[in-house]
Amino acid sequence: MTRVTEQFDFSRKFLAGGVSASTRVNRALGHPLYFDRAAGCRVWDLDGREYLDLCCSHGATLLGHGDPRVREAVEWVLDRGAACSYENELHGQLAELLCKTIPCCERIRFTGSGTEATMHCLRLARACTGRSKILKIEGHFHGYHDQVMFSIGTPADQLAEESAPARYPGSAGIAPGLEQHLVLVPYNRTDLLERAFKQHGKELAALICEPVYYNAGCVVPTSEFLAAMRRLTREYGALLIFDEVLSAFRMAPGGAQEYLQITPDLCTLGKAVGGGFPLSVFGGRHDVMQHLMPEGTCQHSGTYNGHPVSVAAGLAAVTAYRQPGFYERINAVAERLYSGLNQLLARHGIPGRVQGLGARFGIYFGVTREVHNYRDAVRHDRQKMLQFVAAAIAHGVYFHDYGGAACHHGFCAAMTDADVDETLTRLDDAMRVMNP
């Protein structure tokens, strides 16, 4: 018995499944790791074991754990009473900074989580267009609300034809019929996207996508598919929504839309925008955002929207992402880590590949050709992934496990070249104990 496993036994008596979020059980271990403290790119579990963190709060702590700039901003707000549920001057300051930084944002609103951001964004798109259907990309993840909990982890044998992907529910308990509002297309299939618009274009309120599809590791859209998404949404009067909850600030200050040079009508931001505190954003064209109450008729509100602690943390974080040299450093670490990982796989004779962009990446086991969409990613070897995560954790590198699926991992800006080298040395030892 360790303190971690004891904690699991204790928590299970009061917390459903022993966790506060279902995906926190690390299935490679059979329980969650309960952490005691964290600093920079390292975390320590309840038994005092130290790990280099390649989860980084699922992408929320892009600056690293306990960043002093974020801490100072939070303490400043706490010292002033942190009155929540009122407007203060920080809201306007962060809104201005985001409108300067994110290409599509002319107006923004704050929400608390990525799930809320996409939920409100889709309602706004429906209010603005008077249409109800949403084009969703097969496999893309947009949070846990019922509108989009379809086709997110569809088993390989349930996918159906590429021309009509199954609207497979991602959870029990979703009211039957909601899937009727969704049209699905596999990522990077321009021919099928064109076909879907021909059939449903006039009924579509929006096309929502992960512009860089990190929820299947790391999949970048082809320039042809990107251009088609922009062209077809304009042609048919649907809104283009980039869900940048995960991709924002990952490879450029303006997120994937800056990197890919395509400006959507609306976008969502989450995770890194709050510097490790609960904050998310949706925003975009002024004429679209004007549909929100009180100017328009679309409701968006909430007691904790724009909590002052999170907004202060967000201001400090976004200011840090905008510092000269920030992304040069991210890209240099990315190159060192991803090429090092690919070399390790080759040296140990483990078939697989790493695809990464900026500070997040995916590892695909048993896959050697480039992954273009969910159908490619779902065929990766889940057992090998579980084996890898367990071995990495045993050797002091924390990877979160997503049930063996190919999903996203990442590093933070606090990681030095020496930390990367230490990570690779530990993973070299981990791979030595894996069966090829």
Ligand X SMILES: Cc1ncc(COP(=O)(O)O)c(C=O)c1O
> Contact positions toward ligand X, by CB under 6 A?
58, 113-115, 118, 141-143, 210, 215, 243, 245-246, 270
**Residue 4 or residue 117: which is nearer to ligand X going by CB?**
117
Which structure tokens are listed for 175?
Answer: 């009211």
Contact 290, 309 (CB under 8 A): no
CB of 243 to ligand X, least distance (A): 5
Bridge-partner residues for 242, per DSSP? 209, 267
Least distance in Å: CB of 303 to ligand X? 17
- Give me the numbers of helices (H) and strands (E) for the chain, helices first please: 13, 14
Q: Which is nearer to ligand X, 201 or 264 (CB)?
A: 264
The CB-of-356 to ligand X minimum distance in angstroms stands at 16
Pick the closer one to ligand X by CB: 45 or 210. Answer: 210
Residue 94 CB, shortest distance to ligand X, in Å, is 17
CB of 141 to ligand X, least distance (A): 5
Distances (CA, A) of 108 to 85, 158, 266, 284, 388: 17, 38, 9, 7, 41
Tokens of 361: 């990446």
CB of 426: closest distance to ligand X in angstroms?
Answer: 26
CB nearer ligand X, residue 186 or residue 201:
186
Q: How far is the CB of 21 from ligand X (least distance, A)?
A: 8
| Cβ proximity to ligand X, 143 vs 362, nearer residue | 143
- Fill in the DSSP letter of residue 26: B
Nearer to ligand X, 52 or 272 (CB): 272
Nearest in space to 122 (alpha carbons), one of 186, 179, 207: 207
Phi, psi for 21 (deg, rounded to 5): -150, 135
Pick between residue 113 and residue 147 the one whose CB is nearest to ligand X: 113
Measured from each CB, the residue nearest to ligand X is 114
- For the chain, first and last CA: distance in Å? 30
Task: Count other Cβ atoms within 10 Å, centred on residue 326.
Answer: 17
Compare residues 300 and 384 and give the one whose CB is closer to ligand X.
Answer: 300
What b/e sequence results for 170-184 when a residue is b if at least 16 CB atoms lie within 10 Å of its CB, and e otherwise? eeeeeeeeebebbbb
Q: Positive or negative CA dihedral for 257, 258, 261, 262? A: positive
Of 334, 189, 339, 181, the C-alpha closest to 251 is 334
Report how far residue 61's alpha carbon sits from residue 38's, in angstroms, rounded to the nearest whole number: 11
CB contact at 8 A, 409 and 360: yes
Smallest distance from ligand X to CB 245, Å: 4
Smallest distance, Å, CB 218 to ligand X? 12
Measured CA to CA, the distance from residue 402 to residue 396 in angstroms comes to: 19
- Is 103 or 112 the residue whose CB approaches ligand X more closely? 112
Pair of tokens at residue 93: 């300051």
Strand partners, 292: 298
- Written as one string, the DSSP assignment of 403-414 is TT----EE--TT
